[in-house]
Structures are given as structure tokens and as C-alpha cells.
Amino acid sequence: MKRLLSMVMAAAMALSLAACGSTGTSSSTASSQAASSQAASSAPASSQAESTAASASESTAADGAMRIAGLQGPTTMGMVKLMKDQESMESPLYEVTMYGAADEIVPLLTKGELDAAAIPANLAATLYQKTEGQIQVAAVNTLGVLYVVTTGDEVASVADLAGKTIYSTGKGTTPEYVLNYILSENGIDPAKDVTIEYKSEATEILSTLQSAGEGAVAVLPQPYVTAAQAQVEGLTVALDLTEEWNKIDPDSQLITGVLAVRSDYAEQHPEELEVFLADYRSSIEWVTANTADAAQLVAEYGIVAKAPLAEKALPACNITYMDGADMKQALSGYLDVLYQQDAASVGGALPGDDFYYGVE
């Protein structure tokens, strides 16, 4: 069981909830993405993903195909219908490869060996700074995936967190900044009015919840929340931090993942990119409307190891499609909040208008 939970955590924390910090590329390994699942599997989710990605690469690779990277977890869940459609095409338009960590994607994207990638929002902003504007964001694909969970019934609002101990991962990264922002905007001083105990791994939080008794409170990402609920008796979701963010500032959004594209690819292949974005939107809309079928594909591509977990978690993963002016408004507000708390989390400065593809 401990090994299974470690597998769940390792996959669940693979994406965007950690900020880039000073390095700009470390966000992937400490963050939130796909979970593996309720029952033991013959291979961890990462092994399944590597196998699926390899076979997908062989079957879809084609001269001129757009090269796209995805991470195991929510930011790639919306792409599964698009990926499936490519398998029946004699000359696929897209070559999608899955990776376990953003650190694997970054050098490929910056060297031009990839054309686009689904990555953490603040990582995209950091790469924009590091490449002097050679990375743009074409769409938002995932809103917030952070939730406050509890084994009691005393938390019905952010105000109810005052005086409590909150367990969380992500010290010095996005989860800390998001939690501090929401607490502060609700009149709660994170340094004085609550006790936040940061753990290095989500499995530590799980163990704490199991031993702490009734009333324990923690911040966890999906789909790890769904996996944890199967292991901790009475664990419920008390607050959706995406909803709480919207109450504070409805003009911005809590954002997890985006589709980043190389600026030179966007300039040289505008028609191909527009076709892809239309297909991508259609895929995301299909995933959000067909949860059960989408969950089967999410498991098939190794994004989450088991379809039942994926089916339960998908509705709470806040998969979406947002581009143009709406994207710019939502994303710029989110990045500004991170910048105010730690400029390094977005690359040291807020990105310019050219960061937002398709916005005049």
C-alpha cells in the first residue's frame, strides 16, 4: 500500500503547482499532475506513459507533423481525443509525446525540437523571460486543481480556517503563494492566524491525515484528492481554491496549465497552428462532455493509471479552453499575484503583451 501511495503521489505532484522559483524549470518535479490509482498496476503510471508515448510516436510521426509535448496529469487530459483521432490518420497532423517532468520538456522546446507543449502557467512565463520572448501562450488548458480537504465538518468557508493547522506541500512554490493570497484576501494573516505545516511529499500529508484524527485540514491537488479520499476515512473536500480565487478577483483566474508555443513556429506556421487550436478546443470540449469515455483514454495513454480514478477526478480537474483576450485577462492577473509574492516564480518580471498569442 505504501508503494502504491508513493506512485500516486509521484504522478500526482508532477505538474504545475510548484512555482519555477529561481531556476525556472524546477516546477515540474515538485508539483501536481496525474495520479496513478486505487488498485495496484503491473507498471507505474510513468512506465505506462513512456510505453504509450513511444508507440504513439512510432504510429503518428510524420514529416511536417506539429510536435507537441504533454505532461502526465490534468494539463494533457484535454488532449486525449485529439491524440486518439491521430491514430486513424494515414498522415497525422500532430505528434504528441508524454513526459513525466517539465524539466524534460524545457530544453526540447527552447532548442526548437518541439513546437508546443502543455506546461505549468508560471513556467511558460519564466521561459518567455529566459528566451527573450521566444515562448508564447496560445491557450489556457487547466484552471486551478488545489482543494482544501478535511476529516471534519468545521470548514465551510475560508474564514473557518482561522486558528487551524493546515498541511500542504509546495513551500516556496505556487501552492504556498495561492494559499497565502486567498487567506490574506479573506483577512487571515498566514503568518499569525493559521499554522501552515509544509510537507515535502503528499504521502506525508496522507499519513498525517490518517493519524491526526477528526478535524485535520490539508491542501491537496487533483487528482491526488480523489486517490486520497479512497484511503482516508471521512476525507471530504471543504473548499475549491479556484472558486475562492474567483470570489476575490473574478477578472483573473487561478490557472494551472497552458499551451505554450514557440514564437517562430507561430510566425512561420500560422495556418497549422490555428487548425491545431481548433482541434484542441474540440478535444477539450469532448473530454469535458464525455467523462466516462475520456477517462478510458486518459488511462489508455498512461496519464492516470486507472480509468475509475480518472473518471472520478476529471470533473474536478477544471479542464478548459481559453484563448485570446479572455486568456490574457485571466492569465495576466494570475501571474501578477505570483509576481507580487515572488518575482522569481514568473521569471523575474511580468511578461509583455507579445506573450499572449493572438491578442492585438
Q: What is the DSSP string of 306-359?
A: -HHHHHHHGGGS-EEEE-HHHHHHHHHHHHHHHHHH-GGGGTSS---GGGBTT-
Amino acid 155: pLDDT: 96
The Cα 281–Cα 165 span in angstroms is: 40
Amino acid 141: pLDDT: 97
Amino acid 200: pLDDT: 87
Structural domain boundaries in the chain: 2-143+253-355, 146-248
Q: β-pairing, 66-71 with 116-120?
A: parallel
In CATH terms, the fold of domain 146-248 is D-Maltodextrin-Binding Protein; domain 2 (3.40.190)
In CATH terms, the fold of domain 2-143+253-355 is D-Maltodextrin-Binding Protein; domain 2 (3.40.190)
Amino acid 126: pLDDT: 97
Amino acid 26: pLDDT: 33
2 secondary structure, DSSP code: H
State the pTM of this model.
Answer: 0.82
Task: State yes or no: cis peptide before 223, omega within 30 of 0.
Answer: yes
- Segment 44-55, tens digit of pLDDT: 344 344 433 433
Q: How many CB atoms lie within 10 A of CB 354?
A: 11
C-alpha torsion sign, points 75, 81, 83, 84: positive
Which residue ranges of the chain lie beneath pLDDT 70? 1-63
Contact 135, 109 (CB under 8 A): yes
Amino acid 38: pLDDT: 30
CB proximity list for 167: less than 8 A, separation 6 or greater: 196, 197, 199, 205, 208, 209, 216, 217, 218, 219
Same fold for the pair 2-143+253-355 and 146-248: yes
C-alpha torsion sign, points 243, 248, 252, 255: negative
Amino acid 206: pLDDT: 87
